[in-house]
Every structure is written in C-alpha cells, then in structure tokens.
A and B are shown apart, each in its own frame.
Chain A
Amino acid sequence: MDYLSTTSSVSRHYRTLVIFCILTFCGSVLLSAEPRLSIKCNDQTIELTREQLQQMDAIQIETSREKKGLTITENWTGIQVAQLTQLLGRPDFLSVILRSDDNYQVRLSREELEQSSAVIAWAKDGKTLNDGATRLIVPNMRAMYWIFNPSRIIFETEKSAIKPTALILLNSLEASLTYQEKLTPFEKDSGYRFKDIALTAFPDVRGNFRLIAQDGITHVLDYQTYLENAIVAENGDSLNLKSPDMPAGMWIKNLVYIQKDDLCIVNSGICKDMTEVLNLLSIDPETVSIKADNENKTVLDYNKNFADPQWSQSRKVFLWYKE
C-alpha cells in the first residue's frame, strides 16, 4: 500500500512537472510568435514588429474593386512599401518580392511599385484588421497580388532574368523525361516532375526560374523553395504547374515558358510560333534574329509555326539580339 501511494505521488509530481514544462514551452512560443516583418536587401536585414510599423508615417489610400457586379470602395491605412527602403539606406533596387508566412509570393518591379503606391495596410475603413493582420494592397492590380500578412520583403538590386539566348521546345526533351501517371502527392495528375525537366536542360538549377503562363503572368520562383518538388501536369496540350511547397493560389495554369539564365523551354502545344514567345517576353521581333546553330549562320523564319521542320531540325536554336 505504501509502495502504491509512493508510486502514485511520484507519478503525480512527474505529471505536474510535465504540464509545467508544456505550459512554459507554449508561453515562450506564443511570446515569440509576435508577427514580425523582415525586410532584406543584399546582405542587410532588419525586422519590424507591427507596432514599430505603425509608428512610421502612415498614409491612406482608396481602392475600388468590382465584385459580383458591385463596385466596392475601400480605404486602407498603412505604410508605403517603397518607404521601407529608407530603413535600408535607400538602395537602388530593381524589384521587390513580398512573401507571406505560407510562402505565397508576389514580385513587383520598381516601376509597378512606384506607380501603384503599394502599401502594407493594418486598417481598413478606419478599423484595425482582425487578429493583428496586415495586408499588402496594390491599387490597380489584381487581388491575387494583395497578400495577407506579408512577413518577408526582399528588395532586389540585380536583374532577376536576362533575355534568353537559347531556346528548346519541350517536346524535343520528352524522350529524356519520364512520364508519370501519378505525380505524388498529386495522385490524380499525370505528366512530369519539374525537377526532371530542370535537371535535363539546365546546368545549374539553383536559384530563380522565370515561368510564364499563357495569360502572360510571369512568376520568378526560387527552385529550392518552390520548384524542387513541383509537378508539371498534362491536361491535353496545356501544362499546369503545382507544388506542395506553394499555396494553391500560386499554382500556374497553362504554363508555356520556363527560363533559367540564358536558356528557355517553350511548350509548343500552346505557343505556336516564335512571335508568340517574343510577345510573352515583350521583345520586338525586329530586334532579334533566330539562328539554328551557334556559328551565327542559318537564320530561321520566326513566323513559321513550331510544327515546321525548320524547328525540329535543330534541338536548340539561338537568339541573337541586334544592338
């Protein structure tokens, strides 16, 4: 009996200790979970709490959106994203990436940022957003850019993409790729793993890829963060990119163009000729000549459909830009 009561007492103390440890751990997690905004440019990073953000010079902007046939006008209070560069000594940035905790990412060029007067807002129509939330508001741009709780802002000072100087058609790579019926974790999708395409075509897959959808929306995404586990699912001639490392809102429907460094891969099932590719890239066809070899000899007609033998005769074509 004594033995039993001693065991029970030890077990009770042990339980109390475990509960105490759990509560202490949860408390410390909750305290450290105060939302912070990290702002980075090159090697410099600063972190701001929401309170520190609110102490900066706030502005008010008005936005109008069409929703279900109604025009919704909203007033937002927040800090201009461009103003945050003051904290980093006003770097001469070219673009900015804004990312939320769930890895949702948008990228704005400096021009887009300055023209739109994008803000990180903490109040709408005079009322603080729920649960201490913040929201990126980019007037005149689609709501897909208006991300909730941006937690990381990166000002980029280097060009994220150069003009492509070599092009291959995706169907010419297919012999080297393994078509998969079930692309786990997307069991219902069949097609290719992005990793297989990337490792087949590009010498160094680390870093940013430029991906363009048929509607012209461009994504610049880091391979290790977003694309290493991504799939390229076939749906007729269309390709859809999905990744378990991306929120579904970032998945790319009708992917037509993949670029890393100088080399691009084009889905000729959707992009029918070079003019369409150059349109996607906002490149004037008159400023580029397409050649079938690297010795600058055979000039190809960029108006000819990708089904024309001139394209299938060379595995890779070269783009030479006129000065």
Chain B
Amino acid sequence: MAGKSPVTIKGVKEGLVFLLDDQCSFDELLQELDAKLAKHEQHLIGPIIHIFVKLGSRQLQEDELEQLRQTFRKQGNLVIQSIESDAHPPDLAGAALMTHTGIVRSGQTLEYRGHLLLLGDVNPGGIVRCTGDIYVLGSLRGIAHAGSEGDECAIIAASYMRPTQLRIADVISRPPDEWVSPEPWMEYAFLREGRMEIDKLSSLGRHRLAVKEFKGV
C-alpha cells in the first residue's frame, strides 16, 4: 500500500467520486477513508457535496455498507448519492442446468440459480426467472427473466417465442405489438450493447463462442 492510497477522491461536475480500492481489507479501507476525510476536513465543510462511491469489484454486506455510510456521515455536508460495485458476472461457467418439466401457469413463478431448461410452456401471467440462461422447449408466452443477478451475457431461447415481456439482467423489453408471422425456427433473445435483440437460435454460435467448444473437430 506504499505507493497508492486505497482511497482516491476525484472531483466531477456533480460532486465528488470516491474510488475505493478493492484489494485491501475492509477495515483498512475504513481507517484510510476516515483519515482522509479528517485530513480534508477544511475542504469538506460548507455547501452540500454529492458524493458517488465506487467500490470496484468489492461486494459489501448490508452491515458493512452501513459502516461505510457512518464514516461519511461524520462529515455533515457529504450526501451519498450512490454506492456501486462493478457488476461482476456471476460465475456460471460450471453452473448446473436444471431441467423442469411442466407448464408455468398464470400466477406461478419458477425461480432458479443457474441455467434452466423448461420442458413445457410458460403461459401468459407466468414468470420464469433465473441467474443464467433460460431455454424453453415449448411456448414462451409469459415473462422470462434471464441473468436476474446482472449477467448481461445470459440468453432466453424458446421453441415458440411469444413472450409478454423479456428481461435480461436489468434490460426490460417487450415484443412489438404485432408479430408479423410465426417463425418456424427456434429463437433466442440476447443483449447487444445494452439493447435486446432476437435472432434465430442457429446464430447463437456467432456471438457465443463457448457453444462451439462442444463440437468435435
């Protein structure tokens, strides 16, 4: 920690950004933050300053977040606008694929951590939600939410894609009001630069290389 302080403060138009190191221990971070705030006390009085806290890849529990807020509260004019961690993609490489058979009917919710293969339909009013991919071997007429914990690489595939709503990570999309004609191929939804797109399943290999690895030579 000799060269670089765990706490870096940057001024931006909206206020101050606190970049907190994500490698050191949390206690060390708090001490350093406290020291830094005390050092700059004279600068940090006066009008209200909005601050944005960036934690890097560090994920904090609720009580740790509270400690962090307490530290900032010692300075009366600091107002925390946001505390953010980098959305780190959940490690789904080895995640289990759960197979579920049956119909998800109106009012029912099917939730799972990992990837989900549904052998059956999702009816309007039914919700399927999981942290990984969703593959529906049947009609998807309800809501599907893939990558529910922020994995933007998740996809939603269905034999018959007529959803009321599709969600991947934080992106919510609904299909156009009029579907031109039922496509005779399986389709999947994915995110490209934050926008939801639908393509036929045979194109999946083009944007997801991992799929190709299963193939023989």
- Real binding pair: no
Which B residues are closer than 8 A to A by beta carbons? none
